[in-house]
Amino acid sequence: MHRQNASIGRWAWLLPAAYSAHVAEEAFCGNGLTGWMAAGGGARLSISEFIGLNLVGVALLVFAAWAARRSMVWRWPLISGAAILLVNGMCHAAVCVAARAYVPGLWTGIVLYVPVGGVLLFLLWRSVSPRLFAAAITVGLMIHGVVLWLVLRMPGFTWR
């Protein structure tokens, strides 16, 4: 019964807020993530396209936060989102080490994504069945993997 009464409180709303801050860093810090990707021969997105794609992500996370606070059935998208944030924060750090340079998104990845994603996963792990929790994390990791593959495996992409 405790599992179903676990509260996620206001932490759910930190997920779309952290995502928004992260997108702002990726878009406007340094040469921007789109500039970094283009310099490596990767995806060539305009800033408008980048912001547009990420607005869809923000909207999905807002829906996930809203739905998870209202129904236990809809906690899994929030778990997937928290997993994406946690892994993305760690990946930004790893990419910066591998590239031996700042990659936009590093600071919000470390300061926001890792703690917010980690705390949310901790708060949510007892609120759903272990099987659903594992499935939701798997979905999050798959989504992150596809996005990372699309960014880093574009023809001609090289580390700067």
Task: Identify whether the C-beta of residue 84 lies closer than 8 Å to the C-beta of residue 114.
Answer: no
Query: Residue 88 is encoded by which pair of tokens?
Result: 């993305």
pTM confidence score: 0.86
Whole-angstrom distance, CA of residue 160 vs CA of residue 158: 6
Query: Residue 54 is encoded by which pair of tokens?
Result: 């990420």
Residue 146, pLDDT > 80, answer yes
Task: Identify whether the C-beta of residue 151 lies closer than 8 Å to the C-beta of residue 43.
Answer: yes
Instruction: Look at residues 130, 123, 18 and name the one whose alpha carbon lies nearest to residue 138.
Output: 130
Instruction: Look at residues 10, 19, 26 and name the one whose alpha carbon lies nearest to residue 113.
Output: 19
Average model confidence (pLDDT) across the chain = 87
Per-residue model confidence as pLDDT tens digits over 55-113: 999 999 999 999 998 888 899 999 999 999 999 999 999 988 988 889 899 999 999 99
Domain boundaries, the chain: 2-152
- Predicted local confidence at residue 153, as pLDDT: 67
Task: Identify whether the C-beta of residue 116 lies closer than 8 Å to the C-beta of residue 15.
Answer: yes
Residue that wins the pLDDT comparison between 3 and 55? 55
Segment 116-142 shows an average pLDDT of 94
Sign of CA dihedral 88, 101, 32, 145: negative
Whole-angstrom distance, CA of residue 117 vs CA of residue 12: 10
- Predicted local confidence at residue 40, as pLDDT: 67
Residues 6+ apart with CB under 8 A from 21: 108, 112
Per-residue model confidence as pLDDT tens digits over 31-47: 888 787 777 666 677 88
With a pLDDT cut of 90, the percent of the chain lying above it is 61
